[in-house]
């Protein structure tokens, strides 16, 4: 439930400066001396809530609401009051926690309303307040001096107060509306009843004429039914032919769709295989240039390395054999040398000199051995390089052979081509497709024209048939079927002439359309032949484009092979240069061998000198023995190292051989894979060519089926036109029931009906139409009378229900208020009982409500005879009863206890405490008891004509 949070007053009556009053829930008491401006606060509340009555706010004119000025303050130019409501419970149905309402009034009486600082009209403000349950004239606003007005008011006005509390004004509105409707209904019922009586007598005069017209109509209907039935038979026959033709068309369309589906699948298959051919070609180009070349290079290198290792192994083995032989020889010569040294020591002191010379020669011999080792290593590398050159040359020869094979294949397939390149093919293909599109459009237009001409021919034939039939039938009838008048010779002559004119015009149209149709068919056939020729050319160009793609792939292969060939030649050139360099380095092998042999001979010569050189020989022998011993020792060590090297080389050769075997297998598999891929690509290309040829044939079949469909469509159009002509003829007899029977039966019945039709005398056919119109109008008027009587009954029933509900609701409220009123008075006074009494208990709304005070068993007092204080207690009791029965968000009570003495004021305070536990109360009072029970106390004082306020929260 909402409540007032604050009130802001500026320039209103005695509140000149801006004054803000904050209110709380519960009891808010305003006190102050007389004339201080307390009641101006309640006037401000009524003002901001939208009251229009200036007098109810204790002012004569609107300008009197403005501050009039004082000795120390100027008059206000405008007065404004702003009230702020708490909207936490969304009472105002607005998305704001607070709702601010402000009203401004100026000297000219103009009021401005604002809602949350937005300017609104008074109507909008009143609607928003009403939605929130706030009424500026409600009984929750009791201003100064108004408390006794409830007691002094007229009994009927007092009854209206209870009606308002009961909320039965809506019933009054409904009843008033229903009474107005009842008055209108009675007036309309009188008018329509008069018209109904007039129409009844007029309608009876038409019945005889209607009976005769019905007989005429019956025969006319029979004739029409026979004609319609005969036409319907003919239409059924035509419809069967049309359905048969449509069935043939549907079968042809299904056949065409089936072939078209096969064609689309075949096209997808061709495109899929073309993509696979392209993928294989790209893969082969990429793999041939990189993967296979890398693999063959690895194989060549492995072979060269293996061969080099074998040469090294043989070299090491030869060296090992040589070292073993030398060790054996040296070990064998050591004892001999020792013996020679012993003998030479005996023979000569010059052995030492001979030994030095021998040592020098031995050193030179060792250097020559090192050179021989180096030569052996170079020979090994040379052998490996020669092997690599041989592999490269073999690979180069293979590439040349493959290139020649591809070039030969290109030359073979190029001889069958009509265009130099694929771009010319595409250009020609685009040109042909453009021509096909143009021819197809022309064929479509010619087909449509052919269909239109066929319809015109059929329509002309129908027109001729219909006119001939009209000429024949007009001779045998006496009544015109169109105007329903008697036939005359002039009428027959006119119909005959008109029919002849129609026949002549139709024949001319028929001849023109027949000639045009023949020319159209010839043109269409010529265009279809040209279209078939163009489609054949397109098929050939499609096949040639496939061949161009194959040639392009072959050329790409040749390009890749040429690049490989160039790279191989460059590799051979580099390797050959290295080979020449090694051969040059190993060319001195013979010279080194000669020097080696020469040194050995010199050593042997020194060793075999005569006695005069014994001293030197002895020395040489001793040195030689030491050298031999050392050489044997070193040779054994070298022999161990050579054995280790041979073992390592052997293991390396085994590993290289294993890797080489794997690489050769990979090379073989790769070559086989490429062969398979080439075979697969060739197979796919052959498949694409075959499928393209099949696709071309299939497309020709589809075009033939389309021609057949077109022919059937033309035939169907002709049949449809004939059927439409019959339907147009039968359209003249719309809504007529068909007679079942064969053609012979229908024609016989038609003849008999026509004879009977001619025997009928003059009739008034308009009697049927007039009678039906009058009958229809009569029925409508009668129905309106029934409806109005029903409406009147319903309105009376509604009024009765409204009165019952209104009375029931009023009595419920009256009893509840009466009980609360009596209870409240008993709490405020001990002088008796007070209760409410209806003046007319039978017709409660014809009388008022009196307030009766019972002092004794048979002693009653009228309320107007009570004192002012007692009247106040009566009014307060009734007011609180209304508030308890229909609670408000807040209450403003301005000096309601002014006429009460202290004792009654205390009783009033006690009663207020009961009702003020819920809701918000703003009370202007001098009552000490009320002041003590307040939540917030406001003191109002006046200085120099300006009211001031001070608040105190208790």
Specify the pLDDT at position 6. 93
Indicate whether 171 pLDDT > 70.
Answer: no
Specify the pLDDT at position 722. 72
Each residue's pLDDT tens digit, 504-513: 888 888 888 8
Indicate whether 611 pLDDT > 50.
Answer: no
Query: How far is the C-alpha of 298 from the C-alpha of 284, rounded, in Å?
Result: 20
**Backbone φ, ψ for residue 99 (5° rounding):** -120, 120
Query: Quick one: which of 659, 667, 557, 562 has its CA closest to 296?
Result: 667
Query: How far is the C-alpha of 888 from the C-alpha of 894, rounded, in Å?
Result: 16
Indicate whether 76 pLDDT > 80.
Answer: yes
Task: List b or e across 56-71, with b for residues whose CB sees 16 or more CB atoms inside 10 angstroms.
Answer: bbbbeebbebbbeeee
Helix-strand-coil percent breakdown of the chain, rounded to 5? Answer: 75, 10, 15
**Backbone φ, ψ for residue 610 (5° rounding):** -80, -175
Half-sphere exposure of 938 (CA within 13 A, CB side): 25
Query: How far is the C-alpha of 491 from the C-alpha of 487, rounded, in Å?
Result: 6
Each residue's pLDDT tens digit, 913-949: 776 667 788 889 887 777 887 888 999 999 888 888 9
What average pLDDT does the structure give for the chain? 76
Q: Could you give the residue range(s) of every CATH 3.40.50.300 domain in the chain?
A: 1-140+888-954
Specify the pLDDT at position 376. 63
Indicate whether 105 pLDDT > 90.
Answer: yes
Most confident of 43-57, 746-760, 776-790: 43-57
- Classify domain 153-204+765-887 by CATH number: 3.40.50
Instruction: Determine contact, residues 535/703, Cβ cutoff 8 Å.
Output: yes
Specify the pLDDT at position 882. 80
Query: How far is the C-alpha of 192 from the C-alpha of 667, rounded, in Å?
Result: 114
Q: Is 144 helix (H, G, I), strand (E, B) or coil?
A: coil
**pLDDT: which is higher, 623 or 751:** 751
**pLDDT: which is higher, 942 or 182:** 942
**Backbone φ, ψ for residue 117 (5° rounding):** 70, 10
β-partners of residue 581 are none
Indicate whether 954 pLDDT > 80.
Answer: no
Instruction: Determine contact, residues 78/11, Cβ cutoff 8 Å.
Output: yes
Query: How far is the C-alpha of 267 from the C-alpha of 23, rounded, in Å?
Result: 90
Q: What stretch of H or E contains 757?
A: helix 743-758
Query: How far is the C-alpha of 875 from the C-alpha of 904, rounded, in Å?
Result: 13
Specify the pLDDT at position 610. 44
What is the pLDDT confidence band of residue 22, given thresholds at 50, 70 and 90? very high
Q: Could you give the residue range(s) of every CATH 1.10.287.510 domain in the chain?
A: 422-546
Q: Determine if residue 735 is left, alpha or beta; phi over 0 gives left, psi from -120 to 50 gives alpha, anything else beta.
A: left
7-16, 529-538, 661-670: segment of lowest average pLDDT: 661-670
- 111-115/98-106 β-pairing: antiparallel
What is the dihedral sign for C-alpha 908, 911, 915, 920?
A: positive
**Backbone φ, ψ for residue 937 (5° rounding):** -115, 130
- Classify domain 1-140+888-954 by CATH number: 3.40.50.300
Query: CA–CA distance from 802 to each of 170, 181, 206, 841 (Å)?
Result: 10, 14, 49, 18
* Mean pLDDT for the stretch of residues 412-416: 66
Instruction: Determine contact, residues 760/222, Cβ cutoff 8 Å.
Output: no
Each residue's pLDDT tens digit, 115-124: 999 999 998 9
What is the pLDDT confidence band of residue 82, given thresholds at 50, 70 and 90? very high
Query: Quick one: which of 59, 23, 11 has its CA closest to 946?
Result: 11
Specify the pLDDT at position 612. 45
Tokens describing residue 111: 């009021």
**Backbone φ, ψ for residue 353 (5° rounding):** -65, -40
* Mean pLDDT for the stretch of residues 875-897: 81
Each residue's pLDDT tens digit, 355-372: 566 667 666 666 666 666
* Mean pLDDT for the stretch of residues 512-516: 84
What is the dihedral sign for C-alpha 59, 61, 67, 68?
A: negative
Instruction: Determine contact, residues 720/203, Cβ cutoff 8 Å.
Output: no
Query: How far is the C-alpha of 263 from the C-alpha of 267, rounded, in Å?
Result: 6
Contacts of 169 by beta carbon, 8 Å cutoff, 6+ apart: 163
* Mean pLDDT for the stretch of residues 720-745: 75
Specify the pLDDT at position 448. 76
* Mean pLDDT for the stretch of residues 436-452: 80
Q: CATH number of 422-546: 3.40.50.300, 1.10.287.510, 1.10.1510.10, 3.30.750.24?
A: 1.10.287.510
Indicate whether 353 pLDDT > 60.
Answer: no
β-partners of residue 854 are 833, 860
Contacts of 15 by beta carbon, 8 Å cutoff, 6+ apart: 9, 37, 40, 44, 67, 946, 947
44-58, 91-105, 453-467, 876-890: segment of lowest average pLDDT: 453-467
Other residues' Cβ atoms within 10 Å of the Cβ of residue 269 = 14
Tokens describing residue 317: 């083995």
Indicate whether 249 pLDDT > 80.
Answer: yes
Query: How far is the C-alpha of 605 from the C-alpha of 337, rounded, in Å?
Result: 15
Tokens describing residue 212: 């005769």
pTM of the model: 0.40
Indicate whether 61 pLDDT > 50.
Answer: yes
* Mean pLDDT for the stretch of residues 630-643: 71
Indicate whether 350 pLDDT > 60.
Answer: no
What is the pLDDT confidence band of residue 781, given thresholds at 50, 70 and 90? confident
Query: How far is the C-alpha of 639 from the C-alpha of 318, rounded, in Å?
Result: 11
Contacts of 302 by beta carbon, 8 Å cutoff, 6+ apart: 656, 659, 660, 663
């Amino acid at each position: 439930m909402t409540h007032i949070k604050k009130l802001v007053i500026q320039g209103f009556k005695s509140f000149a400066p801006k004054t803000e009053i904050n209110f709380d829930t519960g009891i808010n008491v305003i006190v102050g001396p007389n004339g201080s401006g307390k009641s101006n606060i309640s006037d401000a509340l009524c003002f901001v809530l939208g009251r229009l009555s200036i007098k109810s706010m204790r002012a004569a004119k609107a300008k009197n609401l403005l501050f009039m000025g004082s000795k120390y303050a100027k008059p206000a130019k405008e007065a404004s009051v702003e009230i702020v409501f708490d909207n936490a419970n969304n009472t105002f149905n607005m998305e704001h926690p607070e709702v601010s309402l402000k009203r401004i009034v100026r000297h000219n009486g103009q009021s401005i309303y604002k809602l949350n600082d937005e300017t609104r009209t008074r109507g909008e403000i009143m609607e928003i307040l009403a939605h929130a349950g706030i009424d500026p004239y409600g009984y929750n606003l009791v201003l100064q001096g108004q408390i006794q007005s409830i007691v002094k008011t007229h009994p009927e006005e007092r009854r209206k107060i209870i009606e308002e509390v009961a909320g039965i004004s809506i019933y009054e509105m409904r009843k008033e509306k229903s009474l107005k409707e009842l008055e209108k209904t009675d007036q309309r019922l009188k008018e329509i009843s008069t018209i109904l009586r007039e129409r009844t007598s007029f309608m009876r005069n038409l019945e005889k004429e209607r009976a005769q017209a019905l007989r005429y109509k019956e025969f006319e209907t029979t004739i029409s039914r026979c004609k319609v039935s005969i036409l319907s038979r003919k239409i059924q026959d035509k419809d069967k032919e049309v359905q048969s033709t449509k069935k043939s068309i549907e079968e042809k369309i299904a056949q065409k769709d089936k072939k078209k589906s096969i064609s689309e699948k075949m096209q997808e298959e061709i495109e899929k295989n073309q993509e696979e051919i392209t993928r294989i070609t790209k893969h082969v180009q990429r793999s041939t240039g990189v993967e296979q070349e890398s693999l063959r290079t690895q194989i060549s290198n492995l072979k060269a390395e293996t061969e080099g290792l074998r040469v090294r192994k043989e070299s090491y083995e030869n060296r090992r054999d040589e070292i073993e032989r030398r060790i054996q020889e040296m070990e064998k010569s050591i004892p001999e040398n020792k013996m020679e040294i012993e003998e030479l020591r005996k023979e000569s002191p010059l052995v030492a000199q001979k030994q030095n010379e021998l040592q020098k020669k031995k050193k030179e011999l060792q250097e020559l051995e090192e050179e021989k080792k180096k030569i052996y290593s170079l020979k090994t590398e040379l052998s490996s390089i020669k092997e690599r050159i041989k592999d490269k040359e073999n690979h180069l020869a293979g590439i040349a052979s493959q290139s020649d094979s591809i070039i030969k294949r290109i030359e073979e397939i190029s001889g069958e081509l009509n265009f130099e390149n694929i771009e010319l093919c595409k250009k020609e293909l685009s040109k042909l497709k453009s021509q096909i599109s143009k021819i197809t459009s022309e064929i479509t237009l010619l087909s449509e024209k052919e269909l239109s001409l066929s319809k015109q021919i059929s329509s002309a034939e129908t027109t001729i048939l219909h006119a001939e039939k009209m000429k024949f039938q007009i001779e045998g009838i006496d009544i015109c079927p169109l105007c329903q008048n008697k036939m005359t010779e002039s009428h027959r002559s006119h119909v005959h002439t008109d029919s002849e004119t129609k026949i002549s015009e139709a024949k001319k149209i028929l001849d023109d359309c027949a000639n045009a149709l023949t020319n159209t068919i010839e043109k269409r056939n010529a265009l279809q032949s040209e279209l078939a020729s163009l489609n054949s050319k397109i098929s050939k160009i499609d096949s040639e484009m496939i061949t161009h793609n194959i040639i392009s792939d072959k050329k790409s292969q040749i390009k890749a092979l040429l690049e490989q060939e160039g790279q191989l030649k460059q590799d051979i050139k580099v390797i050959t240069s290295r080979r020449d360099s090694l051969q040059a380095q190993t060319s001195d092998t013979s010279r080194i061998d000669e020097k080696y042999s020469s040194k050995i001979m010199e050593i042997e010569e020194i060793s075999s000198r005569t006695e005069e050189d014994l001293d030197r020989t002895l020395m040489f022998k001793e040195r030689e023995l030491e050298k031999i011993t050392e050489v044997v020792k070193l040779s054994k060590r070298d022999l161990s190292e050579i054995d280790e090297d041979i073992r390592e080389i052997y293991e390396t050769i085994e590993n290289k051989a294993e890797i080489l075997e794997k690489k050769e297998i990979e090379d073989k598999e790769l070559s086989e894979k490429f062969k398979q891929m080439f075979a697969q690509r060739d197979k796919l290309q052959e498949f694409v060519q075959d499928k393209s040829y099949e696709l071309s044939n299939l497309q020709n079949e589809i075009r033939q089926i389309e021609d057949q469909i077109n022919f059937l469509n033309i035939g169907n159009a002709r049949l449809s036109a004939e059927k439409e002509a019959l339907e147009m003829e039968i359209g003249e007899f719309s809504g007529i029931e068909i007679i079942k029977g064969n053609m012979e039966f229908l024609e016989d019945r038609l003849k008999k009906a026509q004879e009977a039709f001619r025997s009928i005398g003059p009739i008034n056919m308009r009697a049927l139409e007039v009678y039906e119109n009058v009958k229809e109008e009569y029925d409508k008027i009668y129905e309106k009378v029934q409806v109005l009587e029903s409406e009147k009954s319903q309105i009376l029933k509604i009024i009765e229900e409204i009165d019952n509900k209104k009375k029931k609701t009023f009595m419920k409220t009256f009893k509840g208020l009466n009980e609360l009123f009596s209870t409240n008075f008993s709490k405020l006074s001990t002088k008796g009982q007070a209760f409410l009494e209806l003046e007319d208990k039978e017709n409660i709304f014809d009388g008022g409500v009196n307030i009766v005070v019972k002092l004794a068993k048979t002693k009653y007092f009228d309320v107007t005879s009570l004192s002012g204080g007692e009247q106040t207690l009566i009014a307060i009791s009734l007011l609180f009863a209304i508030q308890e029965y229909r609670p408000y968000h807040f209450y403003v009570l301005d000096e309601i206890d002014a006429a009460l003495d202290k004792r009654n004021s205390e009783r009033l305070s006690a009663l207020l405490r009961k009702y003020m536990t819920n809701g918000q109360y703003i009370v202007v009072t001098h009552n000490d008891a009320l002041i003590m029970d307040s939540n917030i106390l406001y003191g109002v004082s006046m200085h120099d004509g300006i009211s001031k306020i001070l608040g105190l929260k208790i």
